[in-house]
Structure 1
Amino acid sequence: MSSTQVKDALNRPLRDLRISVIDRCNFRCQYCMPAEVFGPDFVFLPKEELLSYEEIERLAHIFVELGVEKIRLTGGEPLLRKELPTLVDKLSQIEGLKDIGLTTNGVLLPKHAKALKDAGLKRVNISLDSLKDELFGEINGRNVGVGPVIKGIKAAKDAGLGVKLNMVVKKGLNDQEILPMAKFCKENELQLRFIEYMDVGSTNGWRMDEVVTKKEIYNTLKEHYLLEPVDPDYFGEVAKRYRYKGTDVDVGFITSVSESFCSSCTRSRLSANGQLYTCLFNGDGHDIKKFIRSGVTDQEIKQYVTDIWNKRTDRYSDERTDETRKNRKKLEMSYIGG
């Protein structure tokens, strides 16, 4: 097997790495509710438990050698990690890495967007689940209105970053915001991703009857807009994309509940405290931090990652049932990001 393209038994290449640089967040989201768990008294990791920038850079080099082409920095809220542009600059110099992105709530982008762009960041994914101040404040748990996020979006665009908005749709909470969000993104030429409300973690009280499926959202949009399908840009692209006819603006759907995509998943996740996960729905990580701090060589790390990826059998979304949902240990979104 080529060391530059790791594949598992289901022929899924390792192409995409999500790196959580911090476990701290200044918003809650629909995945890491309730407030009594993730409120102001929540205890976060001490600094020594986090992977250092040097360790992240070392691992990134190895993952790129194994076939990774895209890295996205996540959290918690990654912009709370000090000197983040320094890490982006280190990653941008890795030969073979084609794309560096960032998932954020957007509030700190007016302060950091230009420095991140100058360091080599290419795009940001910004979470925005409503355009109504009161509802958005309820969702984020900090009573923060939409205004600071809109300012973050503008700062990112002004800095030359690509901008994509993520909206998790939950029935009975913000499903009435589907059309206003679509209108806002179309008029402002922003990519929008509608995300089905997923059973990530065990603390958000997820129920299947609160899921608004891609088909339902698509049918709502189709009543008001002409949509045409867009071919995937690459194998393993998660979003099912459409374009507003006559424009260059697209809208996509993340369908891990209604239309699973386990068979084409090319994504691995590295938590802030150095746990390597091969599936967002699998809470059993591999302690790569302990391994790399034991004095091993890069080649030994490469073999360690290769063995983990090649032996993966994760197919949670394909196999989702009430029984597996109740009995399987799953990641909390607050620890691993999107």
Structure 2
Amino acid sequence: MLPLQDGFSRRFYYLRLSVTDVCNFRCTYCLPDGYRPPEGSKEGRNAFLSLDEIRRIVSGFAAMGTRKVRLTGGEPSLRRDFTAIIETVANTPGIEKVAMTTNGYRLKERAQAWFDAGLTALNVSVDSLDPRQFHQITGENKLVEVMEGIAAALAAGFKSVKINAVLLKGLNDHQLDAFLGWIKHKPIELRFIELMQTGEMDTLFRDHHVSGEQIKRRLLESGWAQQLRGKDDGPAQVFMHPGSQGRVGLIMPYSKDFCAGCNRLRVSSAGKLHLCLFGDNGVALRDLLAADNQQDALQQRIRAALAGKSATHRLHEGNAGMTPHLASIGG
């Protein structure tokens, strides 16, 4: 079967699958007031995709060439069946990589079980190495526990551990040297993510946005070299230095041609296909996830939706689409 491809000849090997939009942290750039169920959403156990629905959606994407699945949230580990979700995705024919993005609060106790279940890569959010500032940004005084979780992940055997830090002017943008010193002797990729404007974060964006290009210039001036990007890699520009075991990735959605290499699609925890993090609405898929015999219809709907994918987002125009905050469709 032909791989997923849009009208701009971009191929899609990478699925970001949200399994819950609930999160127990209160990060300033995402859920500063804590998690609140979306207006009109279902309550209880049926609010989010079931294990069988997850199996069917991943099988459908795998049949169309998807090779990498990232499990996101909210905080995905809040699902009681999260280990079973990992096993289900990892055992899907065609899926080669299973990753997750986490705030790390359960990582210390679950890292080995998740690795054994088939998880191959981890992204852990660490927005500051200073405990007080970490608390200020995330709303939780959990830096020690998160750092212990990262150590547990490395000990469990994970070869791909990435640290996500959202750049915030006046809060953590001065900590580059501290971060670089931390990864010098660790096989970790540190990823600085440029703050993105969303529907509920206009004031925060105006006050704290800083361009990732500033960090890029500092890296290049310090001897860091940019690397080539793999076909199922995320959007980060990755840099290496001969004196560092760790690497640095920069995610800069406001940079020129950011969308030209787009290779990922998103499915929300409510079963909607999102063609872009900053798109409008979404395409309902859940009605086609009730039984295994609906795979052809599921794949046809995904392909039909992809034909309408835009060439680029409209962030440069101040248009963040219908996305209220990053947790709503898995970031």
Question: TM-score under structure 2 normalisation?
Answer: 0.91
Q: 1:69 to 1:30 in 2, by over 3 A?
A: farther
Tell me the residue number matched to 2:84: 86
Tell me whether 1:172 sits opposite 2:170 in the alignment: yes
**Alignment-mate amino acid for residue 203 of structure 2:** G
Q: 1:133 to 1:283 in 2, by over 3 A?
A: farther
Give the whole-Å Cα distance in 1 for the aligned partners of 2:152 and 2:288: 39
* 1:166-245 alignment runs, 5 A limit: 166-203=164-201, 205-207=203-205, 210-222=208-220, 225-234=222-231, 237-245=234-242
**Alignment-mate amino acid for residue 19 of structure 1:** L
Deviation at 1:155, TM superposition (A): 1.1
Deviations 1:224-266 (A, max 9, x none): x421221112266411111012444321110102334212211
- Contact 1:243–1:251 (Cα < 8 Å) also in 2: yes
Percent identity (aligned): 32
What is the SS of the residue equivalent to 2:239? strand
Number of residue equivalences: 326
What runs of 5+ residues in structure 2 fail to find an aligned partner?
none
Q: 1:122 to 1:235 in 2, by over 3 A?
A: closer
Give the whole-Å Cα distance in 2 for the aligned partners of 1:261 and 1:292: 32
Deviations 1:57-85 (A, max 9, x none): 11101101111111000011111101211
Tell me the residue number matched to 2:322: 329
- Contact 1:197–1:212 (Cα < 8 Å) also in 2: yes
Give the whole-Å Cα distance in 2 for the aligned partners of 1:31 and 1:4: 39
Deviation at 1:159, TM superposition (A): 0.8
- Contact 2:183–2:245 (Cα < 8 Å) also in 1: no
Q: 1:330 to 1:314 in 2, by over 3 A?
A: farther
- Contact 1:106–1:127 (Cα < 8 Å) also in 2: yes
Deviations 1:250-288 (A, max 9, x none): 211101023342122111111111111010011411111
* 1:72-111 alignment runs, 5 A limit: 72-111=70-109
What is the SS of the residue equivalent to 2:260? helix
Q: 1:15 to 1:206 in 2, by over 3 A?
A: farther
What is the SS of the residue equivalent to 2:203? coil
Give the whole-Å Cα distance in 2 for the aligned partners of 1:227 and 1:220: 9
Give the whole-Å Cα distance in 1 for the aligned partners of 2:204 and 2:322: 14
Tell me whether 1:252 sits opposite 2:249 in the alignment: yes
Give the whole-Å Cα distance in 1 for the aligned partners of 2:28 and 2:261: 26
Give the whole-Å Cα distance in 1 for the aligned partners of 2:195 and 2:250: 11
- 159-168 vs 204-213, which moves further: 204-213
What is the SS of the residue equivalent to 1:176? coil
Deviation at 1:127, TM superposition (A): 0.5
Tell me the residue number matched to 2:304: 307
Tell me whether 1:9 sits opposite 2:7 in the alignment: yes
What is the SS of the residue equivalent to 2:175? helix
What is the SS of the residue equivalent to 2:304? helix
Deviations 1:300-335 (A, max 9, x none): 111011111122125215x6213x35xx32242122
**Alignment-mate amino acid for residue 134 of structure 2:** F
Tell me the residue number matched to 1:263: 260
Deviation at 1:43, TM superposition (A): 3.7
Give the whole-Å Cα distance in 2 for the aligned partners of 1:84 and 1:17: 17
- Contact 2:265–2:273 (Cα < 8 Å) also in 1: yes
**Alignment-mate amino acid for residue 299 of structure 2:** K
Give the whole-Å Cα distance in 1 for the aligned partners of 2:181 and 2:295: 49
Tell me whether 1:25 sits opposite 2:23 in the alignment: yes
Deviation at 1:31, TM superposition (A): 2.9
- Contact 2:13–2:231 (Cα < 8 Å) also in 1: no
Tell me the residue number matched to 1:281: 278
**Alignment-mate amino acid for residue 96 of structure 2:** K
What is the SS of the residue equivalent to 2:184? helix
Deviations 1:21-80 (A, max 9, x none): 111111122431432xx26xx347421121101110111011011111110000111111
**Alignment-mate amino acid for residue 236 of structure 2:** A
Tell me the residue number matched to 2:289: 292
Deviation at 1:204, TM superposition (A): 5.6
Give the whole-Å Cα distance in 1 for the aligned partners of 2:18 and 2:234: 20
What runs of 5+ residues in structure 1 fail to find an aligned partner?
none
Give the whole-Å Cα distance in 2 for the aligned partners of 1:19 and 1:201: 21
What is the SS of the residue equivalent to 1:102? strand
What is the SS of the residue equivalent to 1:187? coil
Tell me whether 1:149 sits opposite 2:142 in the alignment: no
Tell me the residue number matched to 1:159: 156
- Contact 1:133–1:146 (Cα < 8 Å) also in 2: yes
Give the whole-Å Cα distance in 1 for the aligned partners of 2:243 and 2:170: 33
